[in-house]
């Protein structure tokens, strides 16, 4: 059935590759063969070589009989030769597939009774980025930056989001120790699509203390893929800024001749500032067709000290993760089941009024992949349940006037996705898919005895049976027109519906808002139409140019629409911005739509090994950007806060990313010396008021120098950040001064072991983080009397890690 479907699409496809030569020989075969015999068969034989003329063994060759869809496959031998015998006379299509080479399809090969047709196949080396497609089923290489996560990256990162710290276009918002939030071109949190092993996971918290990337430990991440701005529609809708996909390791099976394949990795680390330590363990046992794996990690840390010697309270955390993986493969099928438990018993949030006092989550992720000829079919079903509790934690409860206030949320994500990837001839690949995601949320704040009517006698129902569903479909065509031109076109539709049940306050003093909210029709449906068009032009071996346009749409989250209370205390519990302000939802909020144009120019040496320079300017216009309107302001002590209602306003973001790298020397005496830099400039403003958008990273750059010699690597790094002066006046966002931080790192690999050492913020500089939000803890410690200040970053910290791999 599938073969016929494939066949139906073939006539539209193009002819054979110019690199392939085809010639037919009508040589008689030694065995008695009678051409007029209806049962007489023919043969196809050939040799596979690469562009240098060397023969290529181990290439899978498939013969497809066009009339019947019947298939046969063989593998080339040590001399690169292959042969098909017993083929019924007719027309065939021959496909050659080999790792690291482009797929070659030879169309319309004639086989005659008693004849032998010879074809020679020349394989061309696949472009560098094809490997991404091989590793990751769900990614299209065009427009993607993929990076393998190294032990050194893991050693430097407190959480999975920090693995992205050196990626062009990405900035990080501080959010506790485990829950940093990446922003792509200034659009982050839910404006960026975050995929954790292909799953869409929601934050079950009005302060986003458990964002998607907090559910994968840095030690478990094997690859991160970042697509900023112009994103293939197959990589997800319901987002504006781009897509970040963090993936754990792909299953590995035993090779032929290997009875059992075993891998074992264990690691431990210690960091001096905040006495952070932890460890991870992973085990993988695999046969030819079945495999089982385990990955576990545990980390703990105390409060850190900033460069002035001041202890930054509520920066402690602890977390445990366990994942068990079962995998099976056979005859082109791959089935993988991940089951995970995640437990954070406590985590302080210095920018929020509340801390995380427990977060427990369970996850199941089942995925299936099947190769049918050249087509790939993928499917995924996943579920997550999260139980999240907030209150003031151990530091905040020691301040004057501690306000104990339990808040409990329960979130459930359920989803599936299916995708078909179908080559149409030599030039085109069609991707089409469908997905469903459903998030259900309850958020309840139990009464605190003796505090009525403020916080009792009833339970405050913040969100009751909040529902957010998404049904999406897309089709995308990637085409390689010539060695120079590649294009990608995609269309996507998502329908997002939200609703929430009736609410109540702690007491009748919340009654007016609750009654008004309960009387509203709260069901909303948004229909998104997204599109992507991009092209890549490679005029020569030294340059690559990409340019494109994307229209992307995101619907409001449940709190943006359904946070219902205008009471100051209650609205102060809503807001994932770390700005100390008070937020109220807006049922009438519309979806936001971004139109982005972007280009990337990349210059490099022929082999892409000696040097490269890449620059990406972009411009995004956002219609109905979900921002805020001020309802009121209040001054407590020396600080003024705003009560804000979510509202749509048009906005614009533009900027440029720059990255460059080069090998300074590479020889046996001095080893290899490398210099790399990443820089970004960003400007975001709201059009009606010409004010800055919240948390736009100021001009910044990182420069790294690394020297590698005989397993030993050492390097020095500089991070320079400009003053943040364009700020969001609606949120009273504060200006932060510029700063520069120096770091050192060293790694030594020998046999099964790798040791990492690092020194961060070497000169113990005291600096305010541009995306760190405010230090609400210090403000609370002053009895709500002081001037609230931006959160300061970690002072000097020395770090050591050890990894053993067997
Ligand atoms: Cu929370």
Cβ 35 vs Cβ 108: under 8 Å:
no
574 alpha carbon – ligand 1 mean position (Å): 9
257 alpha carbon – ligand 1 mean position (Å): 51
Task: Compute the distance between CA of residue 63 and CA of residue 629 in angstroms, rounded to an integer.
Answer: 65
209 alpha carbon – ligand 1 mean position (Å): 5
What residues does 715 pair with on adjacent strands?
Answer: 706, 745
Torsion 269-300-209-691 (CA) sign: negative
512 alpha carbon – ligand 1 mean position (Å): 26
467 alpha carbon – ligand 1 mean position (Å): 18
4 alpha carbon – ligand 1 mean position (Å): 53
Task: Compute the distance between CA of residue 206 and CA of residue 576 in angstroms, rounded to an integer.
Answer: 6
441 alpha carbon – ligand 1 mean position (Å): 13
Nearest to 156 by CA among 148, 147, 165: 165
370 alpha carbon – ligand 1 mean position (Å): 40
559 alpha carbon – ligand 1 mean position (Å): 13
Nearest to 276 by CA among 327, 347, 341: 347
**Residue 508: in which H helix or E strand, if any?**
none
Cα dihedral value 581, 357, 508, 449, nearest 10: -130
Range with lowest mean pLDDT among 85-89, 291-295, 335-339, 670-674: 85-89
Task: Compute the distance between CA of residue 704 and CA of residue 717 in angstroms, rounded to an integer.
Answer: 4
575 alpha carbon – ligand 1 mean position (Å): 10
405 alpha carbon – ligand 1 mean position (Å): 12
Q: Is the pLDDT of residue 1 over 70?
A: no
330 alpha carbon – ligand 1 mean position (Å): 43
Nearest to 367 by CA among 395, 339, 343, 348: 339
Cβ 209 vs Cβ 231: under 8 Å:
no
Tell me the H-state helices in 591-655: none
Q: Is the pLDDT of residue 292 over 70?
A: yes
3-state per-residue secondary structure call for 310-325:
CEECCCCEEEEEEEEE
Sheet of strand 170-173: strand arrangement: 170-173, 181-184, 187-188
207 alpha carbon – ligand 1 mean position (Å): 5
787: left (phi over 0), alpha (psi -120 to 50) or beta: beta
Task: Compute the distance between CA of residue 54 and CA of residue 59 in angstroms, rounded to an integer.
Answer: 13
Range with lowest mean pLDDT among 56-70, 277-291, 553-567: 56-70
What residues does 363 pair with on adjacent strands?
Answer: 340, 384
784: left (phi over 0), alpha (psi -120 to 50) or beta: left
Q: Is the pLDDT of residue 17 over 50?
A: no
Range with lowest mean pLDDT among 253-262, 557-566, 769-778: 253-262
**Where does the pLDDT of residue 139 fall: very low under 50, low under 70, confident under 90, or very high at 90 and above?**
very low
Q: Is the pLDDT of residue 141 over 80?
A: no
Task: Compute the distance between CA of residue 176 and CA of residue 191 in angstroms, rounded to an integer.
Answer: 20
List the structure tokens of 201. 């996971």
Cβ 733 vs Cβ 744: under 8 Å:
no
424 alpha carbon – ligand 1 mean position (Å): 48
Task: Compute the distance between CA of residue 59 and CA of residue 71 in angstroms, rounded to an integer.
Answer: 16
308 alpha carbon – ligand 1 mean position (Å): 29
Task: Compute the distance between CA of residue 419 and CA of residue 284 in angstroms, rounded to an integer.
Answer: 28
List the structure tokens of 324. 């068990």
Count of beta carbons in the 10 Å neighbourhood of residue 330: 11
Q: Is the pLDDT of residue 220 over 90?
A: no
717 alpha carbon – ligand 1 mean position (Å): 35
List the structure tokens of 489. 């076109």
Query: Residue 151 gets which letter from DSSP?
Result: H
182 alpha carbon – ligand 1 mean position (Å): 18
683 alpha carbon – ligand 1 mean position (Å): 30
List the structure tokens of 63. 């013969």
272 alpha carbon – ligand 1 mean position (Å): 28
205 alpha carbon – ligand 1 mean position (Å): 4
610 to 59, 486, 605, 606, 673: CA distances (angstroms): 31, 25, 6, 9, 11
Q: Regarding predicted confidence, which is higher, 41 or 743? A: 743
Task: Say how many Å lie between the first and final Cα of the chain, rounded.
Answer: 45
- For residue range 173-205, what is the model confidence (pLDDT) as tens digits? 888 888 888 899 999 889 999 999 999 999 999
The DSSP annotation for 671-719 comes to EEEEEEEEEEEEEEEETTT-PBPTTPPPSEEEEEEEEEETTEEEEEEEE
355 alpha carbon – ligand 1 mean position (Å): 7
The DSSP annotation for 198-246 comes to TEE----STT-SS-GGGGS-GGGEEEEEEEESS--GGG-SS-SSEEEEE
Q: Is the pLDDT of residue 706 over 80?
A: yes
**Where does the pLDDT of residue 145 fall: very low under 50, low under 70, confident under 90, or very high at 90 and above?**
low
351 alpha carbon – ligand 1 mean position (Å): 12
**Residue 628: in which H helix or E strand, if any?**
strand 611-636
Give pLDDT, residue 341. Answer: 97
314 alpha carbon – ligand 1 mean position (Å): 14
696 alpha carbon – ligand 1 mean position (Å): 24
584 alpha carbon – ligand 1 mean position (Å): 17
- Average pLDDT of the residues in 575-593: 96
- The residue with tokens 């990313």 is 657
Q: Is the pLDDT of residue 134 over 60?
A: no
Cβ 103 vs Cβ 124: under 8 Å:
no
In degrees, to the nearest 5, what angle opens at C-alpha 760 toward C-alphas 756 and 764?
A: 150
462 alpha carbon – ligand 1 mean position (Å): 13
Cβ 765 vs Cβ 309: under 8 Å:
no
- Average pLDDT of the residues in 222-251: 88
175 alpha carbon – ligand 1 mean position (Å): 11
Q: Is the pLDDT of residue 690 over 90?
A: yes
What residues does 672 pair with on adjacent strands?
Answer: 666, 708
Cα dihedral value 105, 108, 112, 116, nearest 10: -30
Residue 8, Cβ density class (10 Å: 0-12 exposed, 13-18 middle, ≥19 buried) = exposed
Nearest to 783 by CA among 396, 394, 348, 399: 399
List the structure tokens of 656. 């440029």
Cβ 20 vs Cβ 104: under 8 Å:
yes
Q: How many CA atoms, within 13 angstroms, populate the side-chain half-sphere of residue 128?
A: 12
Give pLDDT, residue 320. Answer: 96
733 alpha carbon – ligand 1 mean position (Å): 22
Nearest to 466 by CA among 496, 445, 440: 440
407 alpha carbon – ligand 1 mean position (Å): 8
Residue 586, Cβ density class (10 Å: 0-12 exposed, 13-18 middle, ≥19 buried) = buried
Give pLDDT, residue 254. Answer: 84
Range with lowest mean pLDDT among 38-52, 328-342, 437-451: 38-52
406 alpha carbon – ligand 1 mean position (Å): 10
- For residue range 115-128, what is the model confidence (pLDDT) as tens digits? 888 888 888 765 43
- Average pLDDT of the residues in 218-244: 88
359 alpha carbon – ligand 1 mean position (Å): 8
- Average pLDDT of the residues in 651-674: 93
Give pLDDT, residue 598. Answer: 93
361 alpha carbon – ligand 1 mean position (Å): 13
Q: Is the pLDDT of residue 26 over 70?
A: no
Q: Is the pLDDT of residue 21 over 80?
A: no
Q: Regarding predicted confidence, which is higher, 156 or 511? A: 511
Mean pLDDT, all residues of the chain: 88
Give pLDDT, residue 73. Answer: 87
447 alpha carbon – ligand 1 mean position (Å): 17
354 alpha carbon – ligand 1 mean position (Å): 7
**Where does the pLDDT of residue 142 fall: very low under 50, low under 70, confident under 90, or very high at 90 and above?**
low
Give pLDDT, residue 143. Answer: 58
Three-class SS of residue 161?
helix
- Average pLDDT of the residues in 528-543: 92
Give pLDDT, residue 724. Answer: 96
Give pLDDT, residue 786. Answer: 94
803 alpha carbon – ligand 1 mean position (Å): 33
279 alpha carbon – ligand 1 mean position (Å): 26
364 to 244, 329, 338: CA distances (angstroms): 20, 19, 6
409 alpha carbon – ligand 1 mean position (Å): 8
408 alpha carbon – ligand 1 mean position (Å): 8
Contacts of 327 by beta carbon, 8 Å cutoff, 6+ apart: 251, 253, 286, 290, 291, 292, 293, 334, 335, 336, 337
471 alpha carbon – ligand 1 mean position (Å): 27
Residue 541, Cβ density class (10 Å: 0-12 exposed, 13-18 middle, ≥19 buried) = exposed
206 alpha carbon – ligand 1 mean position (Å): 6
List the structure tokens of 126. 């696949």
444 alpha carbon – ligand 1 mean position (Å): 12
366 to 171, 416, 436: CA distances (angstroms): 31, 9, 15
Nearest to 233 by CA among 421, 50, 490, 597: 490
253: left (phi over 0), alpha (psi -120 to 50) or beta: beta
Pairing of strands 582-584, 639-667: parallel
Query: Residue 11 gets which letter from DSSP?
Result: G
17 alpha carbon – ligand 1 mean position (Å): 57
Count of beta carbons in the 10 Å neighbourhood of residue 385: 16
Task: Compute the distance between CA of residue 172 and CA of residue 702 in angstroms, rounded to an integer.
Answer: 14
202 alpha carbon – ligand 1 mean position (Å): 12
429 alpha carbon – ligand 1 mean position (Å): 43
Count of beta carbons in the 10 Å neighbourhood of residue 11: 8
525 alpha carbon – ligand 1 mean position (Å): 27
590 alpha carbon – ligand 1 mean position (Å): 25
Q: Is the pLDDT of residue 666 over 70?
A: yes
What residues does 320 pair with on adjacent strands?
Answer: 298, 343
Cis before 656 (ω within 30): no
Give pLDDT, residue 288. Answer: 87
628 alpha carbon – ligand 1 mean position (Å): 21
1 alpha carbon – ligand 1 mean position (Å): 51
Q: Regarding predicted confidence, which is higher, 453 or 147? A: 453
Task: Compute the distance between CA of residue 359 and CA of residue 169 in angstroms, rounded to an integer.
Answer: 30
- For residue range 755-779, what is the model confidence (pLDDT) as tens digits? 999 999 999 999 999 999 999 999 9
390 alpha carbon – ligand 1 mean position (Å): 5
- Global confidence as pTM: 0.81
Q: Is the pLDDT of residue 672 over 80?
A: yes
Residue 716, Cβ density class (10 Å: 0-12 exposed, 13-18 middle, ≥19 buried) = middle
Count of beta carbons in the 10 Å neighbourhood of residue 573: 23
List the structure tokens of 474. 């897309």
């Amino acid at each position: 059935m599938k073969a016929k479907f494939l066949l139906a699409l073939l006539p539209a496809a193009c002819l054979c590759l110019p690199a392939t030569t085809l010639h037919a020989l009508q040589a008689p075969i030694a065995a008695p063969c009678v051409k007029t015999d209806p049962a007489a068969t023919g043969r196809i034989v050939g040799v596979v070589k690469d562009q240098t003329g060397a023969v290529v063994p181990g290439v899978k060759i498939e013969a497809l009989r066009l009339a019947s869809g019947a298939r046969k496959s063989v593998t080339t031998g040590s001399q690169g030769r292959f042969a098909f015998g017993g083929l019924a006379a007719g027309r065939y299509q021959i496909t050659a597939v080999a790792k690291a080479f482009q797929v070659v399809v030879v169309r319309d090969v004639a086989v005659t009774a008693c004849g032998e047709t010879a074809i020679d196949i020349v394989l061309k080396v696949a472009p560098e980025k094809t490997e991404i497609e091989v590793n990751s089923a769900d990614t299209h290489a065009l427009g993607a930056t993929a990076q393998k996560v190294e032990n050194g990256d893991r050693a430097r990162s407190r959480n999975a989001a920090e693995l992205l710290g050196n990626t062009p276009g990405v900035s990080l918002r501080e959010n506790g120790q485990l829950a940093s939030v990446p922003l792509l071109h200034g659009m982050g949190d839910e404006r960026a699509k975050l995929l954790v092993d292909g799953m869409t996971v929601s934050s079950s918290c009005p302060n986003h203390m458990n964002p998607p990337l907090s559910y994968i430990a840095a030690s478990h991440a094997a690859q991160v893929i970042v697509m900023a701005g112009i994103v293939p529609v197959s990589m997800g809708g319901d987002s504006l800024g781009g897509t970040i996909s963090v993936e754990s390791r792909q299953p590995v099976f035993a090779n032929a001749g290997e009875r059992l394949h075993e891998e074992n990795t264990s690691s431990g680390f210690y960091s001096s500032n905040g006495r952070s330590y932890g460890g991870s363990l992973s085990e993988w046992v695999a046969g030819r067709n079945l495999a089982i794996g385990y990955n576990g990690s545990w980390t703990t840390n105390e409060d850190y000290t900033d460069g002035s010697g001041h202890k930054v309270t509520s920066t402690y955390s602890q977390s445990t993760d366990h994942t068990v993986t079962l995998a099976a493969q056979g005859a082109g099928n791959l089935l993988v089941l991940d089951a995970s438990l995640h437990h954070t018993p406590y985590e302080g949030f210095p920018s929020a009024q509340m801390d995380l006092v427990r977060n427990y989550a369970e996850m199941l992720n089942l995925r299936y992949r099947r190769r049918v000829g050249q087509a790939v079919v993928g499917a995924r079903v996943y579920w997550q349940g999260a139980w999240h509790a907030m209150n003031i934690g151990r530091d905040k409860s020691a301040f004057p006037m501690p306000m104990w206030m339990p808040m409990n949320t329960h979130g459930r994500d359920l989803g599936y996705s299916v995708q078909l990837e179908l080559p149409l001839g030599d030039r085109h690949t069609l991707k089409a898919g469908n997905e469903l995601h459903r998030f259900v949320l309850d958020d309840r704040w139990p009464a605190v005895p003796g505090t009525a009517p403020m916080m009792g006698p009833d339970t405050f129902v913040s969100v009751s049976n909040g529902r957010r569903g998404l049904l999406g479909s897309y089709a995308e065509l990637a085409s390689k027109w010539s060695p120079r031109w590649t294009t990608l076109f995609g269309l996507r539709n998502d329908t997002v519906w939200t609703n929430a049940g009736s609410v109540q306050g702690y007491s009748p003093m919340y009654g007016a808002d609750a009654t008004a909210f309960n009387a509203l029709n709260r069901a909303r449906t948004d229909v998104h139409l997204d599109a992507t068009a991009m092209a890549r032009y490679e005029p020569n071996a030294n340059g690559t140019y990409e340019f494109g346009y994307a229209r992307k749409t995101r619907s409001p989250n449940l709190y943006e629409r359904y946070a219902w209370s205008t009471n100051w205390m209650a609205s102060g519990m809503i807001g994932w911005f770390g700005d100390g302000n008070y937020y109220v939802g807006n049922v009438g909020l519309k979806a936001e739509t971004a139109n982005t144009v972007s280009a990337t120019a990349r210059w490099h040496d022929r082999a892409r090994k000696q040097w490269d320079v890449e620059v990406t300017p972009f411009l995004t216009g956002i219609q109905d950007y979900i921002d805020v309107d001020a309802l009121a302001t209040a001054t407590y002590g020396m600080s003024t806060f705003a009560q804000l209602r979510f509202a749509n306003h048009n906005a614009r973001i533009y900027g440029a990313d720059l990255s460059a790298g080069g090998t300074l020397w590479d020889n046996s005496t001095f080893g290899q010396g490398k210099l790399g830099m990443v820089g970004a400039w960003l400007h975001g403003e709201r059009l009606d008021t010409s004010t800055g958008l919240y948390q736009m990273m100021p001009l910044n750059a990182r420069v790294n120098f690394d020297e590698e010699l005989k397993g030993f690597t050492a390097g020095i790094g500089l991070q320079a950040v400009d003053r943040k002066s364009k700020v969001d006046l609606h949120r009273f966002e504060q200006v932060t001064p510029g700063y520069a931080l120096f770091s050192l790192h060293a790694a030594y690999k020998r046999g099964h072991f790798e040791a990492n050492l690092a020194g961060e913020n070497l000169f113990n500089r005291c600096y305010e983080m541009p995306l760190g939000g405010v230090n609400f803890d210090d403000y609370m410690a002053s009895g709500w009397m002081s001037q609230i200040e931006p959160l300061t970053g970690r002072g000097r910290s020395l770090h050591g890690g050890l990894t053993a791999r067997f």
